[in-house]
A and B are shown apart, each in its own frame.
Chain A
Amino acid sequence: MVNIDILAKRAREKSSDNWPELAYSDFIELEQIKSGFPGIGSDHITIVDFKDIKEKDIFIYSEASITGGDEAPLMLMKLPDADEYLIMGIGKGEDSKRDPQRLKLRWRDCIEKPALLVPGVKVFRVDVRPTLNGGPGYYYFFRSYRDFRP
């Protein structure tokens, strides 16, 4: 679960001086990421370090939050026994307009580990596993589009 308290405490760990402003910018970033994954709410994700991601874990990785660019966030699943990742969904981002090569990434593709995804990077782990009968996150995993790039 991610809420304002958690964002504020994390921001204070990073910077003791202007943590309210940092927490607000983190909150805006989180809302932007969430808008590309409809049905995934703040209750369904947890902020973790990339090194804590295990096999078969699903997580959202936003390159834009590291580079400050316009890259679309990716929902990835770490595959067992390989350093490969399965694309479970693609969020909103303008990068495919700028670089058509990026459009080659598709839902259910297997990719190698992105270069910037190193231990220490913050990712959002998706904790929900809905079934065909419903459950939290059902809309995204069974009803929604998976690619929200323009």
Chain B
Amino acid sequence: MDRRQLKKQRSIEKNNQDIEKAKSKGRFIKENHGILPYSLEYTKEVSTNLKKRLGDNPSANDLRNFRGFIIDLLVFWNPEYKNEDKDYFKKLIEDYWDGKY
């Protein structure tokens, strides 16, 4: 294996180690999905965590901070994941656009 390949392999290993370290500390890692929808696990994880974070009555400030996240989640939602959370997020963002917050 030449030097360039070794360097690439080392950087991939380091990246994986960093991701696992961040995960063990409870940090959130954004998925690199390209133009495809989010993976099933990622959709599940993000929707559960976001719903927990926003609660039943999210404040206007929370919605302002997380609106980009929610819109991305809705647009790149994995179609295999059937859950009523999607309708909940959809209603939230529609209410935000309509100026109800």
Instruction: Decide: A12 near B97, CB < 8 A? Known: A5-B68, A20-B90, A24-B76.
Output: yes
Interface string of B36-75 (1 = CB under 8 A from A): 0100000000000000000000000000000010011011
A4 contacts which chain B residues (CB < 8 A)? 68, 71-72, 75
Looking at A4, A7, A20, A23, which has the most chain B CB atoms within 10 Å of its CB?
A20
A20 touches B35 (CB 8 A): no
Q: Considering the chains assembled together, what is the distance between the CA atoms of A4 and B38 in angstroms?
A: 15
Task: Count CB-based A-B contacts (< 8 Å).
Answer: 27
**B60 shortest CB reach to chain A, Å:** 17
**B4 shortest CB reach to chain A, Å:** 26
A23's nearest neighbour on chain B, judged by CB, is B75
B72's nearest neighbour on chain A, judged by CB, is A4
B74 touches A8 (CB 8 A): yes
Chain A interface size band reads 10 to 19
Q: Could you tell me which residues of chain A, from 1 to 40, have a CB within 8 Å of some CB in chain B? A: 4-5, 7-9, 12, 16, 20, 23-24, 27-28, 31
Which residues of A come within 8 Å of B, CB atoms?
4-5, 7-9, 12, 16, 20, 23-24, 27-28, 31
Show 27 residue pairs from A and B whose CB-CB distance is below 8 angstroms, ordered by the A residue: A4-B68, A4-B71, A4-B72, A4-B75, A5-B68, A5-B71, A7-B75, A8-B71, A8-B74, A8-B75, A9-B97, A12-B94, A12-B97, A16-B94, A20-B74, A20-B75, A20-B77, A20-B86, A20-B90, A23-B75, A24-B37, A24-B75, A24-B76, A27-B35, A27-B75, A28-B35, A31-B35
